[in-house]
Amino acid sequence: MRAFECAYARYTSEPFALGQMLVVREGRYDTFGVVTGSESGPDDPSRPLVPRGDPGQSAAAVMASNPEIELLLRTTLTVAICGHIDREVARPALPPMPPPLLAEVQAATNEEKVRVADEGRFLVPLLANPAADDAVVAAAIREVARAAGPGDRPFLVAAGKELARLLKAEPSRLTSILRMVEP
């Protein structure tokens, strides 16, 4: 209910970024979430990855010269749910039901990001998720600010104030997140 995992069919060197907002557009609701983690590894845990390639060879070159590896590896993302759209109404809250299994996960559009973020209120479900650490929260705020375009300052301030309200007992955490948002 609070998080879901999504997996690429195989290994990908450029998965969705940390803090990026994703959407599942299937089921009763469009469910939105923020990437909190990304993990790539062997599909079969009993067959761990061993070093390959020559010294000085890049990862991309190793992959290119060993195309079978990509078939054996998988990239999985962890996504913290931060809102949903219910009959055209964006709600920065957990949906009543999780997204369906095997549903396709896509990148949210800029317009969706701004709507669901709702001037920072998407941080309420996000911060309630233990997986959303400071780096994720800061990245999520930056992501929506980018989506808001050149006039992103009001969003940044509003989201910061929401964050301040939520972290009123943790002023040092607030400070460190805001430093990451606007170094």
Residues that bind another protein (CB under 8 A): 156-157, 160-161, 163-165, 168-169, 171-172, 174-175, 178-179, 181-183
**125 or 160, CB closer to another protein?**
160
**33 or 160, CB closer to another protein?**
160
CB-count burial class (<10 Å; 0-12, 13-18, 19+) for 144: buried
Query: Shortest approach of another protein to residue 164 CB, angstroms?
Result: 4
**23 or 166, CB closer to another protein?**
166
Listed residue (37, 4, 7) closest to 133, CA to CA? 37
d(CA 149, CA 153): 9
CB-count burial class (<10 Å; 0-12, 13-18, 19+) for 123: buried
Query: Shortest approach of another protein to residue 148 CB, angstroms?
Result: 14
Query: Shortest approach of another protein to residue 80 CB, angstroms?
Result: 22
Query: Shortest approach of another protein to residue 141 CB, angstroms?
Result: 10
**43 or 182, CB closer to another protein?**
182
Task: Please work out, in degrees rounded to the nearest 5, the angle formed at the alpha carbon of residue 34 by the alpha carbons of 136 and 9.
Answer: 115
Query: Shortest approach of another protein to residue 27 CB, angstroms?
Result: 35
d(CA 7, CA 40): 9
**67 or 183, CB closer to another protein?**
183
Residues 6+ apart with CB under 8 A from 13: 59, 60, 63
